[in-house]
Amino acid sequence: MNWTLAQRAQKMNPSVIREILKVTEQPGIISFAGGLPSPLTFPIEAMREASERVLKDDGKAALQYAASEGYTPLREWVAQDLLKQGMNVSPDQVLITTGSQQGLDLVAKILIDAGSRILVETPTYLGALQAFTPMEPVAVSVDSDEHGVNAEDLRAKVGTGADKARFVYLLPNFQNPTGRTMPEARRAAVAQVAIDTGLPIIEDNPYGDLWFDQAPAPSLSSRHPEGSVYLGSFSKILAPGLRLGYLVAPKALYPKLLQAKQAADLHTPSFNQRVVAEVLKDGFIDRHVPTIRALYKQQCEAMLAALDREMAGLGLSWNRPVGGMFLWVQLPKGMNAVALLDKAVKKGVAFVPGLAFYAQDPSESTLRLSFVTATVDQINTGMAALAQAIRESL
Amino acid sequence: MNWTLAQRAQKMNPSVIREILKVTEQPGIISFAGGLPSPLTFPIEAMREASERVLKDDGKAALQYAASEGYTPLREWVAQDLLKQGMNVSPDQVLITTGSQQGLDLVAKILIDAGSRILVETPTYLGALQAFTPMEPVAVSVDSDEHGVNAEDLRAKVGTGADKARFVYLLPNFQNPTGRTMPEARRAAVAQVAIDTGLPIIEDNPYGDLWFDQAPAPSLSSRHPEGSVYLGSFSKILAPGLRLGYLVAPKALYPKLLQAKQAADLHTPSFNQRVVAEVLKDGFIDRHVPTIRALYKQQCEAMLAALDREMAGLGLSWNRPVGGMFLWVQLPKGMNAVALLDKAVKKGVAFVPGLAFYAQDPSESTLRLSFVTATVDQINTGMAALAQAIRESL
């Protein structure tokens, strides 16, 4: 039997990172690789109580087919919660998605034709590149620094006519993979480019609530609501195994995204939506999220201290995130992160080589470290092992 | 702000059926329209106990990110359960999906290029046409009768070279919308066409377990495993609000479907997968599904009796399904089902006009009736009202 694969399927290759992560899941490995939230932060008891209540009080509706838009009380909660991002949206603009990853899939279906240019950060979230790929765009990297994309390079790359970029995909808060955050001035400049050129913004904000000491500046979408799609997630503030996210779209675009959602999986599980709406009642998030922030801040500080201690004099540099889950390391010039990973795994520690995160011209001497899954003790042990692997690679 | 929509998005129109179903959801309407399983069949107490056990014993894993393939014990259960369809598959061939609707989306991404011919039944499942549409196929209707597609017309429409159909999409058991079932001889003939011509089969089987007196003949996939993708669902034997389905693919195709799945939503909710695996332990389905069959058989018989009683002499014809959720009505020649629906809703009863279910040449004088959501009393009242609306349309 010879299956005729679609062109896009022929181009899809097994994810490099997927194969790498398999190695890092070996028992005994201290992994800074995966982007797994700490299970210590999962509100298991609140979920148990809410599941019980939902099935007792509202079981038939929770287990029945439901509207593709999502569960109304959850959409209302989202609209209310977004006020803190400076966004004033109607619940009618909120579409509940099966994780925010699905938001990327829907956006791709609606906005990308084969050969369309799209603009992304350097580096950018690998999962977004994977979600966009089936629609066969040409992903163009915009020059970026520790504050996110360069606004002038963004302006230069928008293009015009049939060649005009369909959108720019941005993660302004504690970006995956770098952990960097766009400051106020950069947000203003980037939003201005979008407004001046009519360039749509796809703003992905799964980590925005995970700030350590101070909330980040207002969202890009709040500055250009008619030209932005905003993606949010419950994965990092409640639990990823629920697969609950949402998107907020301007009224001009919402109906098309809704149709794509309906065709994709009819609706996000009604049970999960009701359980989470039940958990969120009575200000749960305002009590719960500060405990996540405190834990991740402590682990980030432990990792930064370990880097300062273990990597002194080895020629590395790294950033100092103010929230989120990741930090970004520049290896000594010429050191290959994939080769280093091989050595590191033998010493019992893992990370993700940075080259997985580039749409163009991957840098081979960068790597991503997650500080949220491992304990402080594991961070100390793992960083010493990583330093040893680096010394042997010099 | 002018968004540049992708070509496929421009072609997507608001679903006719979606708008119709909104009308039928008015309070006080007896609806034979929706395909909603009876909530009386939802195993609420078993779900409550399983949710409690999963969160108590395995909460951290149930709420964490998980493998895109799905939860291993659930995949093993599926492989074991498929033995009764005559299918001998490895758990490695099972991919858990967010409802079987998602299986259609993944198949479309992998197998359809813009302009590809695909073959479907006359009529066919509307949701499949919607799932395929974003990939811009040319859907071709194969002549069909009360036993499903005509094998000779299927052979004639396969085509060759670049024009060869990418697959035929078939619902052999208690088809949506017609309720018809392919008998053994038709299955053998259709499978032979697929084998002779190398035509892939996409076999959708959400209703197969809902037989009244006798299980249907073995699946098409069991006859041509290397050339078939099989889609299954927990929506009709447990509850649709969980959004749990699965596909079974030959080893040659599985990796591409897995990549598409990962890009679409990373994985199906781990919580839901574990809860359902817990419910399914110890032969629950073998005790539970017979109660659904008995209920639906009783309601189907009530609807058939009401049709015999109320519609005598009106010039309608209908089939007598032996399982599933739907039956199919042919109105008197020239009677328009959309106009009839308008009259029927005023009398307090609703159905779905058949024209929604055709890829080509829609028939305006057919309609679909669901016998699973309404009670026997409602069926009797609703059928009398529908007969009155028909009399007034003659």
pLDDT tens-digit map of A259-291: 999 999 999 999 999 999 999 999 999 999 999
Classify domain A64-284 at the CATH topology level.
Answer: Aspartate Aminotransferase; domain 2 (3.40.640)
3-class DSSP assignment, residue B246: strand
Q: How many CB atoms lie within 10 A of CB A146?
A: 14
Inter-chain touch A39–B51, beta carbons under 8 Å: no
Nearest to B202 by CA among B133, B267, B138, B110: B110
Give me chain B's average pLDDT, please.
Answer: 95
Which pTM was predicted? 0.97
Three-state helix/strand/coil letters over A116-183: CEEEECCCCCHHHHHHHHHHCCEEEECCEECCEECHHHHHHHCCCHHHCCCCEEECCCCCCCCCCCCC
Give the type of residue at A76.
Answer: E
pLDDT in tens, A229-248: 999 999 999 999 999 999 99
Which of helix, strand or coil describes residue B267? coil
Let me know: does A12 contact B259? Beta carbons within 8 Å: yes
Q: Quick one: what percent of chain A has pLDDT higher than 90?
A: 92
Q: Cα–Cα distance between B367 and B339 in angstroms, integer?
A: 12
As annotated, the residues of chain B forming the CATH 3.40.640.10 domain(s) are 65-284
Partner A, chain B 78-107, Cβ-Cβ below 8 Å: 97-99, 101-102, 105
What is the arithmetic mean of pLDDT over B142-163? 97
**pLDDT score at B245:** 98
| Contact criterion met (CB < 8 Å) for B113 and A6 | yes
Strand B144-145, strand B148-149: pairing? antiparallel
* B270-280 vs A270-280: helix crossing angle, rounded to 10: 120
Q: Provide the 3-class DSSP secondary structure of residue B166.
A: coil
Q: Which pLDDT band holds residue B7 (cuts at 50, 70, 90)? A: confident
Collect all residues of chain B within an 8 Å Cβ-Cβ radius of residue A266: 99, 101, 127, 243
Question: Which tens digit of pLDDT belongs to each residue from A164-192?
Answer: 999 999 999 999 999 999 999 999 999 99
Chain-chain contact of B265 with A52 (C-beta, under 8 angstroms): no
Q: Provide the chain A residues 319-358 that lie in CB contact (below 8 A) with chain B.
A: none
- Rounded distance, CA B120 to CA B139, Å? 7
What confidence tens digit (pLDDT) does each residue in B265-293 have? Answer: 999 999 999 999 999 999 999 999 999 99
| Residue B208 pLDDT | 97
**For helices B254-265 and A100-111, what crossing angle results, to 10°?**
100
pLDDT of residue B85: 85
Q: How confident is the model at residue A207 (pLDDT cuts 50, 70, 90)?
A: very high
CATH class of B65-284: alpha beta
Mutate to test the interface with B, among A3, A31, A42, A270 (most CBs of B within 10 A): A3
- Phi, psi (deg, nearest 5) at residue B366: -125, 160
Mean local confidence (pLDDT), B10-21: 69
From-to residues of CATH 3.40.640.10 in chain A: 64-284
pLDDT of residue B2: 81
Residue B17 has pLDDT above 70, yes or no: no
Interface ipTM: 0.96
Count the Cβ atoms, other than its own, within 10 Å of residue B302. Answer: 19
A66 interfacial to chain B (CB closer than 8 Å): yes
Residue A21 — pLDDT band, cuts 50, 70, 90?
low
Predicted confidence (pLDDT) per residue in B351-369, tens digit: 999 999 999 999 999 999 9
DSSP A200: -
Share of chain B above pLDDT 90, in %: 92
B34 contact A CB<8A: yes
- Residues in B closer than 8 angstroms to A12, CB to CB, are 256, 259-260
Nearest by CB to B270, from A8, A62, A241: name it. Answer: A241
CATH 3.90.1150.10-classified regions of chain B: 7-42+286-393
CB A166 within 8 A of CB A112: yes
CA–CA separation, B289 and B276 (whole Å) = 15
Q: What angle do CA A15, B266, A238 make, to 5 degrees?
A: 135
Note whether A60 contacts B42, CB cutoff 8 Å: yes
B29-71 per-position pLDDT tens digit: 999 998 899 999 999 999 999 999 999 999 999 999 999 999 9
Residue among A66, A133, A240 whose CB faces B64 most closely: A240
- Structure tokens that stand for A244 in this block: 């609950």
Sign for the CA dihedral angle at A7, A9, A13, A15 comes to positive
Q: Which 3 state secondary structure label does DSSP give A83?
A: helix
Q: How far apart are CA B153 and CA A27, in angstroms?
A: 56
Answer for the pair A219, A205: CB distance below 8 angstroms, yes or no. Answer: yes
Would residue A139 be called left, alpha or beta, if left means φ above 0 and alpha means ψ between -120 and 50 degrees? Answer: beta
Q: Is 90 exceeded by the pLDDT of residue A212? A: yes
- CATH number attached to the domain at A7-42+287-393: 3.90.1150.10
Contacts A263 to B, Cβ<8 Å: 101, 105, 127, 130-131, 133-134
Predicted pLDDT at B67:
94
CATH of B7-42+286-393, one of 3.90.550.10, 3.90.1150.10, 3.40.50.300, 3.40.190.290: 3.90.1150.10
pLDDT attached to residue A10: 83
pLDDT, tens digit (0-9, with 9 covering 90-100), for B154-194: 999 999 999 999 999 999 999 999 999 999 999 999 999 99
B6, B111, B241 ranked by CB distance to A269: nearest: B241
| Statement: residue B15 has pLDDT above 70 | no
A-B Cβ pairs (cutoff 8 Å, strict): 249
What is the pLDDT averaged over residues A8-17? 73
pLDDT at B284 (0 to 100): 97
- Min CA distance, A211 vs chain B (Å)? 21
pLDDT on residue B20 = 67
Asked if A36 lies within 8 A of B65 by C-beta distance, the reply is yes
Residue A375: which residues within 8 A CB-CB, separation 6 or more?
A: A299
Domain(s) of CATH 3.90.1150.10: residues in chain A: 7-42+287-393
